[in-house]
Structure 1
Amino acid sequence: MSEPQFIQLYQHNATAVAQELLLGLSAPQAFTSPKYLYDALGSRLFEAITELPEYDLTRTEAQLMRLHSADMAKHLPSGACWIDLGAGNCEKAGRLLGPMQAGRYVAVDISVDFVRQALDSLQRQHPGLRMAGLGTDFSGGLELPEALALAPAQPRVLFYPGSSIGNFTPEQALDFLQSLHRACGTAAGSGLLIGVDLIKDAAELEAAYDDMLGVTAAFDLNLLLHINRLVGSDFSVRDWRHLSRFNADQSRVEMHLQARQTVRVQWPGGERLFAQGETIHTENACKWRVPGFEALLLSAGFASTRVWTDPAQRFAVLWAAA
């Protein structure tokens, strides 16, 4: 049986992280990157969110993959190297490697430790398949290191499920998709398989990000504890409430943390007074219509698209040929 290869590129830089966070917290509209929602507890809370009745994105995507996997296999290259972006537990890609006749698998996450156990398990299920774990922060664009020794003639399937593309503004999404197009390489048949959440009723979208059990609120508020550890600030969770709202002009759900009363937050070398009702913008979840997202893919350099949706057209998976 093959042994997975592990390459760790990302190295935590505490000073750079603190500078990034404090720059956002000091902006006129305070904000943080959504990647800081996912510390150890935040990641577990998000797993719980995917089980909530209000948040059906994950279940709908899984149903869509089951319904259309045979047709997808007709359009995706066999023997390809699958590059799984934000692989986590590797389950989504793991269900497709056999039906899609993958020739290699690369699990990409910010830390190879996140995927190590899952990759070891997946390797036992596919003992003849070459596998690798790549630890890198690809939020600013994807670059594949030479150490992976990717074969230039082997087609690549970049796999980005779950509608994580929604965390980017349209301008950021274009830049990111351009980097994915470059990462597809030059082999014939390469492309991107990507999940996209579609526009729905505003009340339904807001409920999906503010559930009745308060799990999403806990997920958002936990960010404050993570920031305290990263920058030495003194946020108190009890001073803040979670807000979810659909911004129709921007076609996105926004998550915010709102100050319950005027509160002064301090950190080494600085502070900020937040007025009652002032917010910290913690995440965007952009929603798309299929034609608009197809146009974005074409603008990013992809040559053609193939679209699959669930019966209710709540979610879409697109194959964009490079």
Structure 2
Amino acid sequence: MKTEKGIALVDRDDDGVDRAFRADVLNGLRQRDKAVPARWFYDEAGSQLFEDITRLEEYYPTRAETQILQDRCEEFARLIGPDRAVVEFGSGSSVKTPLLLGCISPAAYVPLDISGDFLRESAAALSEKFPGLPVHSVEADFMRRVTLPDAVLPLKKLGFFPGSTIGNMVPRTAVDLLRSMRATLGADDGESPLLLIGMDLVKDRSLLEAAYDDGSGVTAAFNLNLATRINRELAGTIPIDALEHVALWNDEFARIEMHLRARCDIAFTVSGERFVMAKGETIHTENSHKFTRRSGNTLLLAGGWTPVERWLDSDGQFALILARATEQRDAP
């Protein structure tokens, strides 16, 4: 096994709390329309709950993306080629990441994630499946440019961002992330890195809402775990039982929205600061934007990536897109 211990690039307070987490939560709760960025779902418990979500009957994206990875292996091998460092933005999926690594014969694997415990567990699991592959885990906020380990800097890079996580962000933030990925992968250092990214597609409203509000309540537990994490890490007093999970389709913005809605009037504190919510008021916790071919390509181009190839599952529900870093130009 060639797993490195890993490096941590997260800025924490003396009490061990991620400074960005505290700032995002407090700033979000101060707003008139309360909101907390979806990236904070993924503490250890949240990461495990999301793994559980991916196995649900209602949640089609993982099955669809897995099918593409299985069916198009030879095309990935031909278009991506061997000996690249695979830099995954997020802890590796126990199913999808091994499929990709098995197709392309990489030189190294670098998972980047802000959830350190889950990151180390997934990196160790990948190492056991690929005992000859160097694995360099990096605990970091990949929303910003990340300095990669020295051992992988000379290698050609492939960024891997499965699961349509890009859809969790409003367009401005998504473009900023794509640009920071481009910088992390060394596009301005004379390289021409590639990016393999998942995008969920616009489809029937009933299918979309069921995928984010499953009958067994796993997605509800995932959403409510964010409030539990706030209570645990930020000395919060949010009454969890007074909140309920809500998922709805917003057709104007082509996205599923998840909220935590107050069942009654409530008051609570977080890091010593007091907040109130009236009955029916919500904390907006996630967007999951859905794409067409044109909107997905436009987003990639705005973020500095040129689409090379696009694959769909057999039901046409999900897309995996291979893109190449676009050369910087000052004019069309």
Taking structure 1 as the reference length, what is the TM-score of the superposition? 0.91
1:94 equivalent in structure 2? 98
1:24 equivalent in structure 2? 28
1:116 equivalent in structure 2? 120
Of residues 249, 252, 266 in structure 1, which corresponds to 2:269? 266
Structure 2 residue identity aligned to 1:38: Y
Relative to structure 2, which stretch is displaced further, 218-227 or 178-187? 178-187
How far is the alpha carbon of 1:15 from its aligned partner? 7.4
1:163 equivalent in structure 2? 164
Of residues 50, 69, 82 in structure 2, which corresponds to 1:78? 82
Across the two proteins, how many residue pairs are aligned to each other? 319
Structure 1 residue identity aligned to 2:99: R
2:150 equivalent in structure 1? 148
How far is the alpha carbon of 1:70 from its aligned partner? 1.0
Of residues 247, 251, 276 in structure 1, which corresponds to 2:254? 251
1:10 equivalent in structure 2? 10
Correspondence 1:308-319 to 2 at 5 A: 308-319=311-322
**3-state SS of the aligned residue for 1:53?**
coil
**Alignment partner of 1:220 is 2:217:** no
Relative to structure 2, which stretch is displaced further, 61-70 or 44-53? 44-53
Seen in structure 2, the aligned counterparts of structure 1 residues 3 and 284 have a Cα distance that, compared at 3 Å, is closer
Measured in 2, the distance between the counterparts of 1:130 and 1:47 equals: 24
Equivalent residues of 2:83, 2:105 under 8 A apart: yes
How far is the alpha carbon of 1:111 from its aligned partner? 4.5
Equivalent residues of 1:192, 1:321 under 8 A apart: yes
Relative to structure 2, which stretch is displaced further, 271-280 or 31-40? 31-40
How far is the alpha carbon of 1:91 from its aligned partner? 4.2
Seen in structure 2, the aligned counterparts of structure 1 residues 212 and 112 have a Cα distance that, compared at 3 Å, is closer
How far is the alpha carbon of 1:43 from its aligned partner? 2.2
Structure 2 residue identity aligned to 1:288: F
CA RMSD of the aligned region, Å?
2.1
Seen in structure 2, the aligned counterparts of structure 1 residues 120 and 298 have a Cα distance that, compared at 3 Å, is same
Equivalent residues of 2:196, 2:321 under 8 A apart: yes
Correspondence 1:194-233 to 2 at 5 A: 194-233=197-236
Of residues 81, 89, 108 in structure 2, which corresponds to 1:104? 108
Structure 2 residue identity aligned to 1:179: S
Of residues 55, 58, 62 in structure 2, which corresponds to 1:54? 58
Structure 2 residue identity aligned to 1:80: R
**3-state SS of the aligned residue for 1:243?**
strand
Relative to structure 2, which stretch is displaced further, 27-36 or 183-192? 183-192
Structure 1 residue identity aligned to 2:161: Y
1:176 equivalent in structure 2? 177
Equivalent residues of 1:162, 1:195 under 8 A apart: yes
1:42 equivalent in structure 2? 46
State percent identity of aligned pairs. Answer: 36
Relative to structure 2, which stretch is displaced further, 15-24 or 158-167? 15-24
Measured in 2, the distance between the counterparts of 1:304 and 1:208 equals: 28
Structure 1, gaps ≥5 residues long: none
Seen in structure 2, the aligned counterparts of structure 1 residues 49 and 90 have a Cα distance that, compared at 3 Å, is closer
Structure 1 residue identity aligned to 2:28: G
Deviation string, structure 1 residues 159-194 (Cα, Å, up to 9, x no partner) = 111111111111111111111122232455521000
Seen in structure 2, the aligned counterparts of structure 1 residues 252 and 96 have a Cα distance that, compared at 3 Å, is same
Taking structure 2 as the reference length, what is the TM-score of the superposition? 0.89
**3-state SS of the aligned residue for 2:72?**
helix
Structure 2, gaps ≥5 residues long: 326-332
Seen in structure 2, the aligned counterparts of structure 1 residues 69 and 20 have a Cα distance that, compared at 3 Å, is same
Measured in 2, the distance between the counterparts of 1:109 and 1:46 equals: 14
Deviation string, structure 1 residues 214-239 (Cα, Å, up to 9, x no partner) = 11112112222211122222211221
Measured in 1, the distance between the counterparts of 2:307 and 2:225 equals: 41
**3-state SS of the aligned residue for 2:101?**
coil
Structure 2 residue identity aligned to 1:311: S
Measured in 2, the distance between the counterparts of 1:32 and 1:202 equals: 24
Deviation string, structure 1 residues 16-42 (Cα, Å, up to 9, x no partner) = 333331211111001112122223322
Seen in structure 2, the aligned counterparts of structure 1 residues 131 and 224 have a Cα distance that, compared at 3 Å, is closer
How far is the alpha carbon of 1:268 from its aligned partner? 5.1
How far is the alpha carbon of 1:64 from its aligned partner? 1.1
How far is the alpha carbon of 1:130 from its aligned partner? 2.5
